[in-house]
Amino acid sequence: MPQYRAPVKDSKFVIDHVVGLDRYANVPGFQAATPDLVEAVLEEGGKFASEVLFPLNQIGDKIGCTRNADATVTTPPGFKDAFDQYVGAGWTTLHGPEEFGGQGMPMIVATAFNEYVLSANQAFEMYHGLTSGAVASILTKGSQEQKDKYVPKMVAGDWTGTMNLTEPHCGTDLGLIKTRAVPQADGSYAITGTKIFISAGEHDLSENIIHLVLAKTPGAPESSKGISLFIVPKLMVNDDGSLGDRNAVTCGSIEHKMGIHGNATCVMNYDGATGFMVGEENKGLAAMFIMMNAARLGVGLQGLAQAEVAYQNAVHYANDRRQGRALTGPKEPNEKADTLFVHPDVRRMLMEAKANTEGLRALCLWGSLLVDLAHNAPTEVERQDADDLVSLLTPVIKGYGTDKGFETTVNCQQVYGGHGYIEEWGMEQYVRDARIAQIYEGTNGIQAMDLVGRKLALNGGRAIQLFFKVVSEDIAAAEGDEKLAVLAAALKRALGELQAATMWLMQNGMTNPNNVGAAAYSYMHLTGIVVVGMMWLRMGQAAQNLLAAGSEDTKYLEAKLVTARFFAERVMPDAGALRRKIEGGSETLMALDPEMFAVA
């Protein structure tokens, strides 16, 4: 049976000593987040995740969701009760704005907690997971009436939110959307069309579901410039806030899929459903992007979360399972064999897993701090800088984070040998569940194009220049420190590769746009190595400071220093290979005609 324990200590190490949350006490909402309170929240949240949600993970995977004859959807056994407990304990309100019933805690705290929920049960998390993004869209672009009507119930968890972009013929290219929104005399719109792959599109957990739907009004331009955003409630909401009639939106079927079986992925049919426009006509994509950016960071966290639970189990297994002898001679001569832990190749998989999970945790938590700072930092310069950095790094957190998350689940499955392939051990579920994160919310290829095709050049390259400056300052601060010099030198080399690759793109991208497309994926990974490398340098620095200050937690802190060096010596060198791939250009990628791919 798999097991899971929330890594509260590691989250707290990052929050207190790497990010240093107390440095931001001047940011609204941060004062209340004292170290003691944050610890209490995370301890309690971790307990809830491991004791209530984790035991439902395998059941959810096995039994999945059922669409009933009346088009309702029944979630797996135990989900409804767990959701009631989740809402009852106020977990959905953690980061919600106080004026709409939320606790107003910094996003970094909610992110740490969400990681635990996702590790324990990703399919469960996704029922409420998209709601905070939907709330952000309504708060930013919606009318006051829409905010008052929908947001408090969504923050409370009484209602959940969905995002409806994808249609059978259009996923990445949203300009092709066919769903129509016809204006009605009362100011509402009649929404007609079919959306597919809608996560949590229908379920029995909450009283109501608020769908955020992209559709086109009559005469709108036939491109992404002609898309508007609509609120379409499952049950109509009366002026006094009570629930009214069923709206004309139904679940047509549930997809049978590779993983996250406990989450209902629905085909949603809109048959003249009543919808209300959010923001301006034809500006819907920008409004939806507020939700999508939040969701992209959340999906990056899914990569980390699946990697973490897989890693924890692989460590247990490697300690228990005995096969073969250490290359240097038997470690435990009285036993018939040594544990898997003695084998360097098993160590390789476990160290990569450790370096990836702890590095990505630090990155996701820092990214969520940047989101808060982008909105609430006291000065315009701080807000702008944070916004630039988080915009640049969102595709990296999503794309690199989920690639490394998936790779980690596969490595941890490999630690089990054949047992990793057998259902009862639980490892193959983590591989299957982690896989989707590379695909939805814009595939990782699209994240790479967002980074290279859009974010790099934005505002004359302001964000990437700022990123270079931030990394360079960290390197400079560490270079003189004997114990950190190895990390600083490795990061300096990796940063140099990224800067050279950026220069190459500037020189070769304009003349041949295929060079940009061909370079994008490697560039995203190269940026990922540099930013996670920076987080490892920061973690190394923090560990060393604590040791120097006399901390007695020596094993944990020394493990940080060793893992930082592992990342520097065994992951960062990939930066050079990625740069060379980028500089290889697009010629061989694009040379063959499609018919030349056919089997000879």
Residue 166 as a binder of ligand FAD (CB under 6 A): the answer is yes
Catalytic residue from among 441, 473, 587, 595:
441
Window of 47-55, 159-167, 374-382, 573-581 that interacts with ligand FAD by CB under 6 A: 159-167
Question: Which residues in 435-460 are b (16+ Cβ under 10 Å) and which e?
Answer: bbbbebbbbbbbbbbbbbeebbbeee
288/212 Cα distance (integer angstroms): 8
Residue 440 as a binder of ligand FAD (CB under 6 A): the answer is yes
Residue 257 vs 322, nearer CB to ligand FAD: 257
Q: Is the dihedral of CA 289, 227, 196, 155 positive or negative?
A: positive
Among 427, 436, 463, 501, binds ligand FAD (CB under 6 A): 436
Residue 270 vs 440, nearer CB to ligand FAD: 440
Determine how many CB atoms are found less than 10 A away from the CB of residue 148: 12
Window of 70-78, 166-174, 301-309, 374-382 that interacts with ligand FAD by CB under 6 A: 166-174
Q: Are 409 and 307 in contact (CB under 8 A)?
A: yes
Residue list 224-263, contact with ligand FAD (CB under 6 A): 257
What is the closest distance, in whole angstroms, from the C-beta atom of residue 435 to ligand FAD in the complex? 10
Residue 59 vs 446, nearer CB to ligand FAD: 446
Window of 104-112, 183-191, 197-205, 302-310 that interacts with ligand FAD by CB under 6 A: 197-205
Residue 80 vs 257, nearer CB to ligand FAD: 257
Quick check: is 308 catalytic? no
Strands 265-278 and 228-233 turn out to be antiparallel
- Amino acid identity of residue 361, one-letter, is R
The two three-digit tokens of residue 423, written as one number? 């259902």
Among 28, 171, 272, 576, binds ligand FAD (CB under 6 A): 171
Residue 74 vs 443, nearer CB to ligand FAD: 443
Annotate each residue in 380-399 with x if it binds ligand FAD (CB under 6 A) or - if it does not, as one string. Answer: --------------------
Q: Are 126 and 200 in contact (CB under 8 A)?
A: yes
Residue 15 as a binder of ligand FAD (CB under 6 A): the answer is no
Q: Are 228 and 281 in contact (CB under 8 A)?
A: yes
Classify 275 as helix, strand or coil.
Answer: strand
156/575 Cα distance (integer angstroms): 44
Residue 198 as a binder of ligand FAD (CB under 6 A): the answer is yes
Among 49, 120, 165, 210, binds ligand FAD (CB under 6 A): 165
Classify 268 as helix, strand or coil.
Answer: strand
* Strands of 184-311, DSSP E: 189-199, 208-215, 228-233, 235-237, 243-246, 249-254, 265-278
Residue nearest to ligand FAD (CB): 171
Residue 61 vs 385, nearer CB to ligand FAD: 61
The two three-digit tokens of residue 88, written as one number? 């009852």
Residue list 172-191, contact with ligand FAD (CB under 6 A): 172
What is the closest distance, in whole angstroms, from the C-beta atom of residue 267 to ligand FAD in the complex? 11
Q: Are 53 and 120 in contact (CB under 8 A)?
A: yes
450/464 Cα distance (integer angstroms): 13
Q: Between the CA of residue 348 and those of 144, 381, 563, what are the distances in Å?
A: 54, 43, 11
Among 74, 443, 472, 586, binds ligand FAD (CB under 6 A): 443
Query: Binders of ligand FAD: how many residues, by CB under 6 A?
Result: 20
Q: Which residues pair with 230 in a beta bridge?
A: 213, 277
What is the closest distance, in whole angstroms, from the C-beta atom of residue 454 to ligand FAD in the complex? 12
The two three-digit tokens of residue 131, written as one number? 């709601």
**Cα 94 to the chain's mean position, in Å?**
18
Window of 114-122, 192-200, 278-286, 490-498 that interacts with ligand FAD by CB under 6 A: 192-200
Window of 87-95, 140-148, 433-441, 586-594 that interacts with ligand FAD by CB under 6 A: 433-441
Residue 227 vs 546, nearer CB to ligand FAD: 227
Among 442, 509, 528, 533, binds ligand FAD (CB under 6 A): 442
What does 11-44 look like in DSSP terms, one character per residue?
HHHIIIIII-GGGGTTSTTTTT--HHHHHHHHHH
Residue 172 vs 323, nearer CB to ligand FAD: 172
Ramachandran class of 195: left when φ > 0, alpha when ψ lies in -120 to 50, beta otherwise: beta
Residue 265 as a binder of ligand FAD (CB under 6 A): the answer is yes
Residue 266 as a binder of ligand FAD (CB under 6 A): the answer is no
Q: Between the CA of residue 554 and those of 410, 566, 568, what are the distances in Å?
A: 31, 18, 21
What is the closest distance, in whole angstroms, from the C-beta atom of residue 89 to ligand FAD in the complex? 25
What is the closest distance, in whole angstroms, from the C-beta atom of residue 306 to ligand FAD in the complex? 14
Q: Are 102 and 94 in contact (CB under 8 A)?
A: yes
Window of 12-20, 162-170, 534-542, 566-574 that interacts with ligand FAD by CB under 6 A: 162-170
Please list the alpha-helical segments (H only) found in 159-248. none
Active site residues: 441
Judged by the rule CB under 6 A, the positions of this chain that interact with ligand FAD are: 163-166, 171-172, 197-199, 257, 265, 436, 439-443, 445-446, 449
